[in-house]
């Protein structure tokens, strides 16, 4: 007989798909530094955002409600893969010979293979409800583009995706996946937009450039909106189903985390796993540590400046208060394509600034070393993005061993790596290098920060 104390998977029935998203904004209060209009530099109003987003999402962006109900139609689609499993990494614990208890929430079971459909489905739903016909977006590694393609297909919306050039070249099957779900995909920078043409010399592309292209297209047509896969408040909000489920699943395991870890591209999967637990910390004084893991080649939280900056390269999006490497910083082409972004979610940046969340930077060879160790122990081949979180989880488990502590570690395994095997191949052949973050390049990008009020 398999007794409970040896359980590997902690699963919830469909009836326990959360009925509400956790809005940490209600706990944090109104932001001391509101987002600003890119032209007037005045605080942003709902009307400023209306050409790009449906009103329901704009309201979520500014909501002070502690919880926001998940529409039934969204929950029905969530039921295709949610609740996702929580695993106890017993084999990894054994391989590390650590007294730590390691848990991971696995979002790779969604049809697109990552956490991104949690918000894609919600965004497609609200746009459809407000009569929109088409969504445009950017994608880095292809995870977000494929998630939005899937969601648009489910709601009968058209989907047009600008894919960062280097990923478009490295990941032809991600493009085929988007096309299978009915989307149109362009290599960015493209010659379809003014923004793309102006950035043609940045041949490998960046998320910032691809965002500019998608926003430009959305602004040009009344029946078209833009959809963002991370950074914004409503995106982080939708991802909190991850942490809400994890709380219930850890209860089943009779545990509570000492450390919660997530990788950070724009901040949404980290917010998803961490914000429901951060609410406990803020309200009940729990002593849990929270660690955000980012790539050393794009070290936004650990080496960026805290300032108002644009979300895109060309400067069409609102100015957001965040740690930034400069909106026109083009990060080196690391394999974790989903982590190549110059800024991060303003809510996460504020939490880092306040010391509620710790940030750490990981080199890609160290991330792949952890990914291979994880795959050999647990079976699942992780995406390069969550491999940054796995590196930190393993290091925490080894530190617990050193200290002789039974630490409970939780991390978000935000996606599988089945479309990233070329990167694994390079790592296994010893051909993967650590791309250095160039101080000169960043200095130059920071000199071009937009004029805006200084942040305290």
| Residues near ligand PLP, by CB under 6 A | 114, 140-141, 143-144, 230, 263-270, 338-339, 383, 385-386, 414-415
Min dist CB 139 to ligand PLP, Å, is: 7
CB of 196 or CB of 266, closer to ligand PLP: 266
- Provide, rounded to whole angstroms, the least separation between the CB of residue 22 and ligand PLP: 16
- Strand 289-295 with 259-263, pairing: parallel
Closest CB 284 distance from ligand PLP, rounded Å: 26
State the minimum distance, in angstroms, from the CB of residue 272 to ligand PLP.
7
The residue (of 167 and 224) whose beta carbon lies closer to ligand PLP is 167
Min CB(405)–ligand PLP separation in Å: 28
What separation in angstroms does the CA of 320 have from each of 35, 181, 352?
5, 33, 15
Residue 115 or residue 187: which is nearer to ligand PLP going by CB? Answer: 115
Closer Cβ to ligand PLP, 98 or 324, answer by number: 324
CB of 94 to ligand PLP, least distance (A): 26
Q: How far is the CB of 174 from ligand PLP (least distance, A)?
A: 10
Q: Which residue is nearest to ligand PLP (CB)?
A: 338
CA distance 396 to 360: 12
Q: How far apart are CB 234 and ligand PLP at their closest, in Å?
A: 13
Closest CA to 219 of 153, 146, 312: 312
Q: Which is nearer to ligand PLP, 141 or 445 (CB)?
A: 141
- Answer whether 341's CB lies under 8 Å from 298's CB: yes
- Residue 98 or residue 137: which is nearer to ligand PLP going by CB? 137
């Amino acid at each position: 007989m398999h007794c409970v104390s040896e359980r590997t998977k902690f699963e919830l029935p469909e009836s326990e798909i959360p009925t509400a998203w956790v809005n940490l904004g209600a706990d944090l209060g109104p932001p001391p530094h509101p987002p600003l209009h890119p032209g007037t530099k005045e605080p942003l109003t709902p009307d400023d955002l209306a050409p790009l987003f449906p009103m329901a999402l704009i309201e979520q962006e500014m909501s002070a409600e502690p919880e926001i109900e998940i529409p039934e139609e969204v929950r029905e689609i969530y039921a295709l893969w949610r609740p996702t499993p929580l695993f106890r990494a017993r084999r990894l614990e054994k391989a590390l010979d650590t007294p730590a208890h390691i848990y991971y929430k696995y979002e790779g079971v969604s049809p697109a293979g990552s956490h991104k459909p949690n918000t894609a489905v919600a965004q497609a739903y609200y746009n459809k409800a407000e009569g929109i016909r088409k969504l445009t977006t950017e994608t880095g590694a292809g995870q977000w583009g494929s998630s939005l393609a899937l969601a648009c297909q489910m709601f009968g919306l058209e989907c047009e995706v600008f894919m960062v050039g280097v990923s478009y070249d490295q990941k032809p099957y991600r493009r085929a996946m988007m096309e299978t779900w009915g989307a149109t995909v362009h290599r960015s920078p493209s010659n379809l937009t003014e923004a793309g043409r102006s950035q043609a010399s940045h041949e490998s592309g960046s998320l910032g450039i691809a965002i500019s292209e998608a926003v430009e297209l959305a602004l040009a047509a009344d029946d078209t909106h833009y959809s963002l896969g991370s950074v914004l408040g409503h995106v982080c909000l939708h991802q909190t189903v991850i942490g809400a489920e994890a709380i219930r699943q850890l209860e089943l395991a009779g545990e509570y985390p000492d450390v919660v870890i997530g990788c950070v591209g724009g901040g949404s999967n980290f917010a998803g796993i961490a914000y429901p637990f951060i609410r406990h910390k803020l309200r009940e004084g729990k002593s849990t540590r929270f660690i955000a893991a980012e790539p050393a080649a794009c070290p936004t939280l650990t080496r960026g400046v805290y300032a108002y900056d644009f979300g895109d390269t060309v400067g069409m999006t609102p100015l957001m208060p965040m740690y930034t490497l400069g909106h026109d910083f083009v990060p080196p082409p690391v394999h974790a394509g989903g982590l190549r972004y110059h800024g991060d979610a303003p809510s996460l940046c504020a939490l880092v600034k306040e010391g509620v969340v710790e940030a750490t930077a990981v080199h890609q060879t160290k991330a792949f070393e952890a990914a291979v160790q994880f795959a050999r122990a647990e079976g699942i081949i992780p995406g390069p993005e969550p491999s940054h979180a796995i590196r930190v989880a393993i290091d925490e488990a080894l530190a617990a061993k050193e200290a002789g502590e039974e630490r409970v570690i939780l991390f978000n395994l935000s996606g599988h790596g089945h479309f990233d095997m070329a990167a694994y191949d390079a790592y296994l052949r010893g051909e993967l290098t650590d791309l250095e973050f160039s101080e000169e390049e960043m200095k130059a990008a920071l000199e071009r920060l937009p004029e805006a009020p200084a942040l305290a």
